[in-house]
Structure 1
Amino acid sequence: MDTTRNLALAAWMTEHGYSSNALADAVNQALGALTGSPGGLDGSSVRDWKAGRVRWPKSATRAALENLTGLPATALGFVPRGRAASAPAPPQEDPVNRRSFLTATAATAAVPLPLSAAPHRVGATDIARLRGKFAGVVAGDHQHGGIRGIETRALELATEAVDLQGRGSAGQRVRSQLYAVAAAFTSSAMWAAIDGRRFDAARRHHERAASLAAMSGDQAIQFRIWSHAGTLYRHLGHPADALAANDVARNLSVARRDPLFASLGHARHAAIHGATGDLAAVRRSLGHAQEALDRADSSVPRPVWLEAFYGQSELDSLALAAYLALGDWSAAEAHAHRSLAGLRPHMHRSRAIATARLARAQLGQGDLEPAVSTAMGIRPEARRHPRISGMLGAFGTRLRECAPHSPHTRTWTQYEREAPA
């Protein structure tokens, strides 16, 4: 067998910071969105691609890869069966955002529909293609968090979905679905901006996403957008606005019909109540969230964005945020350990956030050595995330305030100084 190395795929992975295991996880997520069942790839599968031992993956895997990267399989160095291998050029770098997820491929990903004399009929195939790309955006978010590349890519795909309205004919149902998928992409841009602490941009994306969602009539995406708005206002320090926005989500009929939506609404309400200092409300909301989660039927199909992150681990993460805000350090630590134990392997950003919060809970209890050890255990690449960087900066400030002469404080200060930028 010809085992010419796939240099194009290797270059793309290096450009976007993917290890073999990380790419396998992301493609498995995209496969789940396309086929309804997650893929079974692992790091060895990707290493086979890179080494040229597998030159043309199965069709579903190729589709998932194309949705994830925005590039055709041949541009990623794969060779159709029966065709001689060539030496494909590696993908071009974007000098502005070299390390941002998918930025280098954004220009080629949004491929316009070919012009022809006959009008294009927009239909289910177009919707499925866009939804596959949305699954790739969601997978990228869990890998990388709120970087600008994800925000930019999501906005470009939202524009692509809206532009399809004017490029061909479509029935009302398909038009509603196009608005819904455009709203979904825009809500992902909104979340990336929130996570990256770009709050002015997040507010603009919220206005656009809410408008698109209203035109779609899709309650699931309306829930996501208004739930995100509640989180935005919580981070801005406006708990009254946060509660009002989250109430919009919780009062939608989808939250009354589906316990999983209801659980997420209650859990995010608990985090907001934590910011107001209302312990009784936190406990009440968490109780409702847990009861609803326990009732949720896991066999019911739900949107990919919800299935990708919400479950017991995320409920505990929101409880952790609530108890940290209240200063109940022991309760916060207990929820941190539960959240970390239940996180899925691909959720790197969520793991880093929960770990930083755990360190703060340990510090609040005066456990300096485990707190510093926990904080130092966060992966260096995660430390560059704006949200995590801010959390660790606040951790260091509080550590120096409460124990300025401790050897553990000196250890942390030296670690901060020597950590790669």
Structure 2
Amino acid sequence: MAENKNGALAAWMTAHAMSAAELADAVNDAIADLTGRSGTTSERTVFRWLSGENRWPQERQRRALETVTRLPATALGFVPRGRPASTPMPPPSEDPDDMKRRTLVAGGIAAATAAAAAPNASGVRRIGMSDIERLQQEFARVIASDHRHGGQRAIEQRAAALADEALNLQNAGSATQRVRSRLYGAAAAFRSSAMWAAIDGRRYADAITHMREAQALAELSGDQAIKFRIWSHAGTLYRHMGRPSDAFAANDVARNLTITRQDSLFASLGLARQMAIHGLAQDHSGLRRAFDQAQAAMDRADPDAQRPVWLTAFYDQAELHALALSAHLAAGDHPAAEYHAYRCLSALRPHMVRSRAITTARLAHAQLAQGAPDVATATAVQVPADAATRHPRVCRMLQEFSAALRATSPGSPAVQMWSEHTATWRMTG
């Protein structure tokens, strides 16, 4: 019945952005830390807790829940057998024995938490979910740095170092198979970020090296989402290298993964990147068809589904238009490119600093190709100086813009305006 639902547990899970499956995994890992053997808690078990069907989990699960949440079971909405659900627990100050019990529970939680970072009774360190969570926090920082700066060698090196750190944990102590798989997944995720930073920085040989390592790690992890990211990035790498056949082949591997049938947003991204390759291949009809399919898949996607941070941080309506801009620009359809550029800029989230600079530079190219040098130059000067002078892809696009502007409008006010503007970069650089 609705009145028996466990609102306290649901509230904790919401506050910590944890799904039922993730809580089940965390509980099983905590059981392994406490007993030496992984638990059998399933997603269905958590749903039974949330619905109120199971009001008092078995002892091992209660202890593990308390370890994971750092709260006593009663604070999570669970009710000991024989006690009515509506009966409040007495305040600790009214019952010395109860206070003693709470103190022991708190001490047990602290000891169990510390066990994840300390040797167990046999002198071997236990690698657990706390290690995974720390790596996930580092991964979120790498993603955020990429969206602000992009393409920097420092980002590539940091991501590669974190991949090595995740791998080193494999040999740092004992762990359940689930934790080991997640360590491989974390290493693959970091290596894929190093790969992307190298792609964005036009360091293609380095990107290929990272790609091969990331692919091997992803296979060891069994993580469909990170496999998709790596193969999708491989398609982008080959597209930037001007190799459409290889780009199609790599992107097809991503698009044929099971996750694209389970989540339409992954399907949409795969189609959007396919569209960009169609642009490089000068396939106008394939380009338009892929855009319509990507849009339809995005519209079908469940907005409340839980997805990895690397996907939710960048793929949205703005990114779909950004890829359409790239595709139409490569295909020579400059009015369509300009249209998608404006749609992208109007939808970009504030943290997408790198994407805004790239889109603005591409918009200037589309406008110049339509014979509007004054408008194009006014657009190009809006690219921030930091991106214009430090981001390899943006630098390359603006150098090409400068050459095209001088070739098509020599001696014009637009050329003079552009020359004066770029001079300020040299003075402040």
What's the CA shift string for 1:96-121, capped at 9, x where partnerless?
A: xxxxxxxxxxxxxxxxx777972111
Aligned-partner residue type, residue 281 of structure 1: G
User: How far off is 1:146 after superposition?
Assistant: 1.2
Flag structure 2 segments of 5+ consecutive residues without an equivalent.
1-13, 19-116
Correspondence for 1:401? 407
User: How far off is 1:367 after superposition?
Assistant: 1.2
Aligned-partner residue type, residue 400 of structure 1: R
1:358 equivalenced with 2:363 (yes/no): yes
Question: Equivalents in 2 of 1:287, 1:313: separation in Å?
Answer: 15
For 1:255-404, list aligned pairs within 5 A.
Answer: 255-383=260-388, 384-404=390-410
Correspondence for 2:17? 36
User: How far off is 1:343 after superposition?
Assistant: 0.6
For 1:149-168, list aligned pairs within 5 A.
Answer: 149-168=154-173
Correspondence for 2:221? 216
Secondary structure class of the residue paired with 2:171: helix
For 1:63-102, list aligned pairs within 5 A.
Answer: none
Tell me, yes or no, if the aligned pair for 2:118 and 2:125 is still in contact at 8 Å.
no
Correspondence for 1:198? 203
User: How far off is 1:402 after superposition?
Assistant: 1.2
Question: Equivalents in 1 of 2:119, 2:392: separation in Å?
Answer: 42
Tell me, yes or no, if the aligned pair for 1:34 and 1:132 is still in contact at 8 Å.
no
Question: Equivalents in 2 of 1:34, 1:211: separation in Å?
Answer: 35
What's the CA shift string for 1:280-320, capped at 9, x where partnerless?
A: 00011111100000001110000000000001000000000
Aligned-partner residue type, residue 397 of structure 1: A
1:138 equivalenced with 2:138 (yes/no): no
Question: Equivalents in 2 of 1:170, 1:235: separation in Å?
Answer: 40
User: How far off is 1:270 after superposition?
Assistant: 0.4
Closer/same/farther in 2, CA of residues 247 and 180 from structure 1, 3 Å limit: same
Flag structure 1 segments of 5+ consecutive residues without an equivalent.
1-32, 38-112
**Count of residue correspondences:** 314
Aligned-partner residue type, residue 339 of structure 2: A
Question: Equivalents in 2 of 1:159, 1:136: separation in Å?
Answer: 17
Correspondence for 2:235? 230
Tell me, yes or no, if the aligned pair for 2:357 and 2:384 is still in contact at 8 Å.
yes
Aligned-partner residue type, residue 216 of structure 1: S
Secondary structure class of the residue paired with 1:309: coil
User: How far off is 1:417 after superposition?
Assistant: 3.1
Aligned-partner residue type, residue 422 of structure 2: E
Aligned-partner residue type, residue 166 of structure 1: N
Question: Equivalents in 2 of 1:391, 1:373: separation in Å?
Answer: 15
TM-score (norm 2): 0.71
Closer/same/farther in 2, CA of residues 328 and 130 from structure 1, 3 Å limit: same
Residue in structure 1 matching 2:249, options 231, 241, 244: 244
Correspondence for 1:98? none
Tell me, yes or no, if the aligned pair for 2:192 and 2:210 is still in contact at 8 Å.
yes
Question: Equivalents in 2 of 1:273, 1:400: separation in Å?
Answer: 30
Question: Equivalents in 2 of 1:115, 1:198: separation in Å?
Answer: 42
Secondary structure class of the residue paired with 2:270: helix
Correspondence for 1:71? none
What's the CA shift string for 1:262-293, capped at 9, x where partnerless?
A: 00000000001100100000011111100000
User: How far off is 1:36 after superposition?
Assistant: 3.2
What's the CA shift string for 1:315-346, capped at 9, x where partnerless?
A: 00000000001111111011000101111101
What's the CA shift string for 1:217-249, capped at 9, x where partnerless?
A: 001000000000100000101010001000010
- RMSD over aligned Cα, in angstroms? 1.6
Aligned-partner residue type, residue 282 of structure 2: G
Aligned-partner residue type, residue 178 of structure 1: L
Aligned-partner residue type, residue 376 of structure 2: A
Tell me, yes or no, if the aligned pair for 1:148 and 1:193 is still in contact at 8 Å.
yes
Question: Equivalents in 2 of 1:283, 1:378: separation in Å?
Answer: 28
Tell me, yes or no, if the aligned pair for 1:227 and 1:245 is still in contact at 8 Å.
yes
Question: Equivalents in 2 of 1:185, 1:138: separation in Å?
Answer: 10
What's the CA shift string for 1:78-99, capped at 9, x where partnerless?
A: xxxxxxxxxxxxxxxxxxxxxx
Question: Equivalents in 1 of 2:221, 2:156: separation in Å?
Answer: 21
Aligned-partner residue type, residue 129 of structure 1: R
Aligned-partner residue type, residue 209 of structure 2: R
Deviates further, 398-407 or 347-356:
398-407
Correspondence for 2:124? 119
Deviates further, 405-414 or 369-378:
405-414
User: How far off is 1:389 after superposition?
Assistant: 0.3
Correspondence for 2:133? 128
Question: Equivalents in 2 of 1:256, 1:287: separation in Å?
Answer: 18
User: How far off is 1:132 after superposition?
Assistant: 0.9
Closer/same/farther in 2, CA of residues 261 and 187 from structure 1, 3 Å limit: same
Question: Equivalents in 1 of 2:395, 2:15: separation in Å?
Answer: 34
| Percent of residue pairs bearing the same amino acid type | 56
1:415 equivalenced with 2:415 (yes/no): no
Higher-Rg member (1/2): 2
TM-score (norm 1): 0.73
Question: Equivalents in 2 of 1:340, 1:350: separation in Å?
Answer: 9
User: How far off is 1:169 after superposition?
Assistant: 0.6
Aligned-partner residue type, residue 377 of structure 2: V
User: How far off is 1:413 after superposition?
Assistant: 2.4
Tell me, yes or no, if the aligned pair for 1:270 and 1:285 is still in contact at 8 Å.
yes
Question: Equivalents in 1 of 2:355, 2:262: separation in Å?
Answer: 28
Residue in structure 2 matching 1:183, options 178, 188, 198: 188
Question: Equivalents in 1 of 2:15, 2:353: separation in Å?
Answer: 22
